[in-house]
């Protein structure tokens, strides 16, 4: 599917207006409800297919961040054949007590997968945690970067951001 058409479909499915507080603490009058496009199996599959060329060469594991990155990383894994890990905001104190479930990340080249990025705060936190556990991480991949460029915290963390869509790509469907 053409990227412009994909942007229009996501806009039609997920764009909301009102007053919304983002994870970063910022307030906005427009919002992309990621769960609306992630819950549509056909649209999510098309998003994942479009993301495949953005996966950096040499990636050994795709790591999806809790919670919105999980459906995206699962769909992307199906398209790339790469194993995936599901990264919690913090390790649970029971069961395996692991920060990342699924594929092993220690000693492997990992690409972080997120749905929507504003400041990149959670990507930086999760990257720091996974690096401390032995993962090599230089890249992050997202469906929507709410910015026209890479947020400074990602650059400062030594990450290259690969965005499928930016605000310029998210337009209302033609009438």
Block residue for tokens 């649209």: 43
Q: Is 23 exposed, middle or buried (0-12, 13-18, 19+ CB in 10 A)?
A: exposed
88 is in an annotated binding site: yes
Known binding residue 122? Answer is yes
114 marked as binding residue = yes
Is 124 labelled a binding residue? no
Predicted pLDDT at 105: 98
- The answer to the question of whether 34 is labelled as a binding residue is no
Overall pTM > 0.85: yes
* Crossing angle of helices 41-51 and 69-80, rounded to 10°: 60
pLDDT at 10 over 90: yes
Query: For the ranges 23-37, 51-65, 102-116, 138-152, which has the lowest average pLDDT?
Result: 23-37
Q: Is 169 annotated as a binding residue?
A: no
Query: Are 152 and 172 spatial neighbours (Cβ–Cβ below 8 Å)?
Result: no
118 assigned binding-site residue: yes
CATH number for the domain formed by residue range(s) 3-166: 3.40.50.2020
pLDDT digits over 104-146, tens only?
Answer: 999 999 999 999 999 999 999 999 999 999 999 999 999 999 9
In the chain, where are the structural domains located?
Answer: 3-166
Tens digits of residue pLDDT in 62-78:
999 999 999 999 999 99
Q: Is 171 known to sit in a ligand binding site?
A: no
- Establish whether 121 is an annotated binding residue: yes
Q: Is the peptide bond before 12 cis (omega within 30 degrees of 0)?
A: no
pLDDT at 174 over 80: no
Query: What does the pLDDT average to over 134-160?
Result: 97
- Cβ-based burial of 29 (10 A; exposed 0-12, middle 13-18, buried ≥19): exposed
* pLDDT score for 175: 66
Known binding residue 109? Answer is no
């Amino acid at each position: 599917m053409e990227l412009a058409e994909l942007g229009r479909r996501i806009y039609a499915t997920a764009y909301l207006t009102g007053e919304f507080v983002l994870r970063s603490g910022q307030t906005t009058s427009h919002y992309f409800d990621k769960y609306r496009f992630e819950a549509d199996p056909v649209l999510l599959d098309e998003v994942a297919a479009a993301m495949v060329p953005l996966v950096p060469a040499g990636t050994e594991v795709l790591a999806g961040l809790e919670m919105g990155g999980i459906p995206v990383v699962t769909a992307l894994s199906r398209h790339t054949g790469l194993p995936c890990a599901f990264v919690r905001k913090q390790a649970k104190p029971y069961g395996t007590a692991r920060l990342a479930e699924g594929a092993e990340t220690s000693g492997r080249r990992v690409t972080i997968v997120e749905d929507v990025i504003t400041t990149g705060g959670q990507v930086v936190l999760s990257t720091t945690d996974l690096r401390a556990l032995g993962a090599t991480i230089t890249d992050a991949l997202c469906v929507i970067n709410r910015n026209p460029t890479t947020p400074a915290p990602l650059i400062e963390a030594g990450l290259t951001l690969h965005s499928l869509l930016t605000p310029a790509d998210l337009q209302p469907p033609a009438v």
